[in-house]
Amino acid sequence: GQNIDQPTEMTATEGAIVQINCTYQTSGFNGLFWYQQHAGEAPTFLSYNVLDGLEEKGRFSSFLSRSKGYSYLLLKELQMKDSASYLCAVTGGGNKLTFGTGTQLKVEL
Amino acid sequence: EAGVVQSPRYKIIEKKQPVAFWCNPISGHNTLYWYRQNLGQGPELLIRYENEEAVDDSQLPKDRFSAERLKGVDSTLKIQPAELGDSAVYLCASSISRGSYNEQFFGPGTRLTVL
């Protein structure tokens, strides 16, 4: 089975940097995804990591350490519109995603 | 290009009533998923289709839930009879291969309230 842990809530200031952590325990691993979900809306894809290291995409970066079962999503130059839930999800293969409970990020002035 | 379409967006029913949700995936996406998302939780997979075949329905409560994707395009998820605990957002997604991974695209969801 899959077990995914991420903090329930985080608060950060506009313009700052925030790191959202995710730890996982899986019986098989074929990649880790981060999704963003604004309230009342559908999750949207942010990133995918399957190899160790950092993947950078604009203001967002995602890191993976397979040996530690650990990932983080780094958001730079925070904007108010970044207030959302950030979902960590793991796939063990076969197109099946197991999601964490999500981290609700609140960006304040 | 149109995204994943779901209807209705909202549904309020009384317990023991039946309800059905419809999903039309992105054109060309062979894989279709139904998820349930409870408040403050991540989506949980109910069923996954590859074309018209249900390849993973292990999390679908088969006593009251059913799904179909007869022509391998659009899909319907049904609950009969609905229970209070079925109140949730039902998300449909479809995916496309990006080589090393499959990117899932989600629809806006149907918010079900069972009274």
Of A44, A50, A96, the CB nearest to B56: A96
Determine the pLDDT at residue A106.
Answer: 98
What is the distance in angstroms between the CA of the first residue and the CA of the last residue of chain B? 37
Picking from B41, B55, B95, B103 by the largest number of A CB atoms within 10 A of its own CB, the best residue to mutate is B41
% of residues, chain B, pLDDT over 90: 85
* Rg of chain A in Å (alpha carbons): 13
DSSP B85: G
Nearest residue of A to residue B100, measured between CA atoms: A50
As a whole number, mean pLDDT of residues B95-107 equals: 86
As a whole number, mean pLDDT of residues B91-109 equals: 89
Chain mean pLDDT for chain B? 94
Determine the pLDDT at residue B5.
Answer: 96
Q: Are A52 and A66 contacting, i.e. CB atoms less than 8 angstroms apart?
A: yes
Tell me whether residues A97 and B41 touch, CB distance under 8 A.
no
Which pLDDT tens digits describe chain A residue by residue (109 residues)? 679 999 999 999 999 999 999 999 988 888 999 999 999 899 999 999 999 999 999 999 999 999 999 999 999 999 999 999 999 999 986 678 899 999 999 999 9
Of B42, B50, B108, the CB nearest to A100: B42
Tell me whether residues B105 and A45 touch, CB distance under 8 A.
yes
Torsion of CA A52, A81, A39, A91, to 10 degrees: -10
Cα–chain center distance at B61:
13
Tokens of B34: 């139904």
